[in-house]
Amino acid sequence: MMTLRPLEGIRRQMGKKSKYKKFLGLCIVTVIVLLIVLAYMGTRPHYIIIKSFNNSQKFAEASFSITSIKDSKHFMVSAFIDHRLDKTIRVISIINRNSLQPLYCVYCSIDHDCKIVNTDVQIHRDNFGFPFHVSDVICDGIHLQNATHVLISTDKDSPNLKMEYLPIKNRVIRATFKYNFTVCISNLFGNYNNVLQFAQTIEMYKLLGIQRVVIYNTSCGPDLEKLLKHYEREGILEIVSWPIDQFLKPSSGWNFDKHTGDLHYYGQLTTLNECIYRHMYQSKYVLLNDIDEIIMPYKHVNLPSLMEDLQSAHPSVGVFLIENRIFPKTQFEDSEKYKRPEWNNVPGINIMEHIYREPDRKNVFNPTKMIVDPRKVEQISVHSSLKYFGYTYHVPFDVCMIVHVRVPLQRHLTREQLIVDKRVWDFAQKLVPNVDQALELSGVLRPHT
């Protein structure tokens, strides 16, 4: 019996150690679980019920396309449900990168119950050095498709409910679209009055299969204003007022060091992104280009046949990059075949007189514009997409290119070194009378006998 006592003591000690290890392990597991729960809770949106409104009370909706965010240097533009990101709310905004501060979403449902949530402010990366830049203010939380109005606030506790709310768009996914092709033209500014080229561009796009053109207007000349109103009455043109110069000092260029100002090209990147979301469920494809550019198919009769072939060959592509080609406005074709006296008093460039194209420059980047499936784009820049779903495809320039009549880039080239390109003339039989009609109906061109 005496020989067994030490062994029993050892067993007792080992039993105590085993219980201690089990207890210690249980404590560690408990701590880890608590940390995981706390971390998870930390990622959840911070909800605060603000107030239940009387159903008869209406929201004060923003009356302009740009709305100041109170007590900040920022602006909100428009709001959308993003069904691709679990139905969260995305607010297209202009954020001052040098004055960042916490921002909060105040969103309200149809019964006027409102909540505050944190935000994720995503400033697009291509700011070109300007202090103000297009940004996405993402409202934390999911399944917010029942929300009808939202505002961005700097106050998480007692926001001023008398502020102007943005109506939330794209609340319903649509499988069929009102338009097959929509052109988004970023902005008009500087009293732009290039009437003839604008009319030729719109009429060319109509022949190519476009059903809708969207333009953001800061300022334009008196003659172009007449033409814009004509196309608006006709139904092809949607004009979005863009009074950015009433809020900021916009730049007329892309380089901050050279052009200065508060934001790039009168907010060009803001309007392009806004246009993508505005027509996400209205248009099958969206074209993004400038007012003096035409995305022109060269191996297809129109844009529908072009995109049918491209999409069939590349079903996973959502962004099609189209190369730019310069047609110098300083070079005129000699026959004067389309130098029409009826257009002499119409301000602007006659693109049909400029059939000489600059050759491709090797080892030099050719800027591109885009044809996109808007449902596959999250963030867009001028020449490429920054965030997208799927793939991009660089369309060969002999299949489709941008006809861009403007000042030459290769000024040293002689006429003989340029390439003759009469693609626009292929549409002359319908294009010329259609342009005449548009100019007459708008009051820019007097009827001729």
147 and 92 within one domain: yes
Dihedral sign for Cα atoms in the order 271, 273, 274, 275? positive
348 contact partners, CB below 8 Å, separation of at least 6 = 193, 194, 195, 196, 197, 198, 199
Residue 320 lies inside a defined structural domain of this protein: yes
Q: Given this model, what pLDDT does residue 157 score?
A: 73
| Between 61 and 218, residue with greater pLDDT | 218
Q: Given this model, what pLDDT does residue 46 score?
A: 42
130 contact partners, CB below 8 Å, separation of at least 6 = 251, 256, 261, 262, 263, 264
The residue to which tokens 């793939």 are assigned: 391
Q: Given this model, what pLDDT does residue 364 score?
A: 83
CA atoms within 13 A on the CB side of 396: 5
In the chain, the number of structural domains is 2
pLDDT digits (tens, 9 = 90+) for 275-310: 999 999 999 999 999 999 999 999 999 999 999 999
| Between 369 and 252, residue with greater pLDDT | 369
140 and 220 within one domain: no
Q: Using the predicted structure, report yes or no on whether residue 11 has a pLDDT greater than 80.
A: no
Residue 447 lies inside a defined structural domain of this protein: no
C-alpha pair distances (Å), 121 with each of 21, 137, 159, 201, 223 = 47, 5, 19, 37, 41
Q: Which of these three, 104, 134, 169, is where a domain ends? A: 169
| Between 161 and 425, residue with greater pLDDT | 425
Residue 83: which CATH number? 2.60.40
Over residues 420-433, the mean pLDDT reads: 98
194 and 116 within one domain: no
C-alpha pair distances (Å), 73 with each of 97, 209, 386 = 9, 42, 25
Rounded Cα gap, residues 334 and 353, in angstroms: 9
Q: Using the predicted structure, report yes or no on whether residue 428 has a pLDDT greater than 60.
A: yes
Over residues 355-370, the mean pLDDT reads: 91
Rounded Cα gap, residues 119 and 136, in angstroms: 10
233 and 138 within one domain: no
Tokens of 367: 């800027």
Q: How confident is the model at residue 448 (pLDDT cuts 50, 70, 90)?
A: low
201-219 burial code (b ≥16 CB/10 A, e <16): bbbbbbebbbbbbbbbbbb
Beta strands in 158-282 (DSSP E): 166-169, 179-188, 212-217, 237-241
pLDDT digits (tens, 9 = 90+) for 367-399: 999 999 999 999 999 999 999 999 999 999 999
pLDDT digits (tens, 9 = 90+) for 301-336: 999 999 999 999 999 999 999 999 999 999 999 999
Q: Which of these three, 145, 169, 193, is where a domain ends? A: 169
3-state secondary structure 348-412: CCCHHHCCEECCCCCCCCCCEEEEECHHHEEEECCCCEEEECCEEEECCCCCEEEEEEECCCCCC
Q: Given this model, what pLDDT does residue 61 score?
A: 73
C-alpha pair distances (Å), 396 with each of 134, 310, 323 = 30, 11, 8
- Percent with pLDDT over 70 in the chain: 84
Q: Using the predicted structure, report yes or no on whether residue 141 has a pLDDT greater than 60.
A: yes
Residue 278 lies inside a defined structural domain of this protein: yes
**pTM attached to this predicted model:** 0.86
Over residues 389-411, the mean pLDDT reads: 96
Residue 390: which CATH number? 3.90.550
Q: Which of these three, 141, 169, 197, is where a domain ends? A: 169
Q: Using the predicted structure, report yes or no on whether residue 402 has a pLDDT greater than 60.
A: yes
Tokens of 430: 């319908």
Over residues 352-376, the mean pLDDT reads: 93
Tokens of 329: 């406005």
Q: What is the mean pLDDT of the chain?
A: 88
Q: How confident is the model at residue 412 (pLDDT cuts 50, 70, 90)?
A: very high
Longest distance between any two alpha carbons in the chain, whole Å: 133
362 and 269 within one domain: yes
Containing domain of residue 124, as a range?
50-169
Q: Using the predicted structure, report yes or no on whether residue 47 has a pLDDT greater than 60.
A: no
Q: Given this model, what pLDDT does residue 49 score?
A: 40
| Structural contact between residues 135 and 124, judged by C-beta atoms closer than 8 angstroms | yes
Q: How confident is the model at residue 168 (pLDDT cuts 50, 70, 90)?
A: very high
388 and 277 within one domain: yes
280 and 162 within one domain: no
